[in-house]
């Protein structure tokens, strides 16, 4: 039986070939893997190789600032609230909801998600 979708927006899985990552401002400079994005939020892994480093702990409702890196130096700063924290195959995945929907950064993020959507319609992955 298929699990009922409760999200406001469709998630877009992130391909490893994009090399997107994020850092949490004020907590660490560790590069955390991005799992997926949607027009309302971002999913990411809180651990590195299954281990959560000291200072990286999050609880539901925590509001954090993240830097979403689109490459090694270009990033979007976003304000995110932890709305889901799950163990997924020995890893800790956080579902973050973007809180400042009127910011220029969010508008750029939304355009970025639209760009990903347009890519999936025409792009191919070499196997």
pLDDT at 106: 97
State the average pLDDT over residues 68-94.
Answer: 92
pLDDT higher at 2 or 83: 83
Complete domains list, the chain, with CATH: 12-120 (2.40.10.220)
HEC assignment per residue over 2-16: CCCCCCCCCCEECCH
pLDDT at 96: 97
SS3 122: helix
Contact 66, 42 (CB under 8 A): yes
pLDDT at 89: 82
Q: For 95-115, write each residue's pLDDT tens digit.
A: 999 999 999 999 999 999 998
Cβ neighbours of residue 53 closer than 8 Å, sequence gap 6 or more: 28, 30, 47
Q: Which residue has the tokens 């409760």?
A: 6
pLDDT at 52: 80
Q: Inform me whether the pLDDT recorded for 3 exceeds 60.
A: no
pLDDT higher at 40 or 2: 40
Cβ neighbours of residue 78 closer than 8 Å, sequence gap 6 or more: 42, 65, 66, 67, 68, 98, 100, 105, 106, 109
Q: Inform me whether the pLDDT recorded for 13 exceeds 80.
A: no
Q: For 19-61, write each residue's pLDDT tens digit.
A: 789 999 988 788 999 999 999 999 999 987 778 877 788 999 9
pLDDT at 99: 97
How many whole angstroms separate alpha carbon 120 and alpha carbon 12?
10
Q: Inform me whether the pLDDT recorded for 10 exceeds 60.
A: yes
pLDDT higher at 79 or 119: 79
């Amino acid at each position: 039986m298929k699990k009922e979708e409760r999200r406001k927006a469709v998630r877009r899985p992130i391909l490893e070939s994009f090399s997107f990552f994020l850092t949490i401002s004020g907590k660490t400079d560790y590069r955390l893997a991005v799992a997926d994005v949607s027009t309302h939020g971002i999913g990411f892994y809180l651990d590195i190789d299954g281990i959560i480093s000291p200072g990286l702990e999050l609880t539901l409702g925590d509001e954090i600032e993240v830097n979403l890196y689109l490459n090694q130096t270009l990033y979007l700063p976003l304000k995110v609230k932890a709305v889901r924290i799950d163990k997924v195959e020995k890893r800790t995945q956080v579902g973050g909801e973007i809180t400042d929907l009127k910011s220029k950064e969010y508008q750029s993020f939304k355009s970025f998600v639209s760009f990903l959507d347009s890519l999936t319609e025409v792009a191919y992955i070499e196997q």
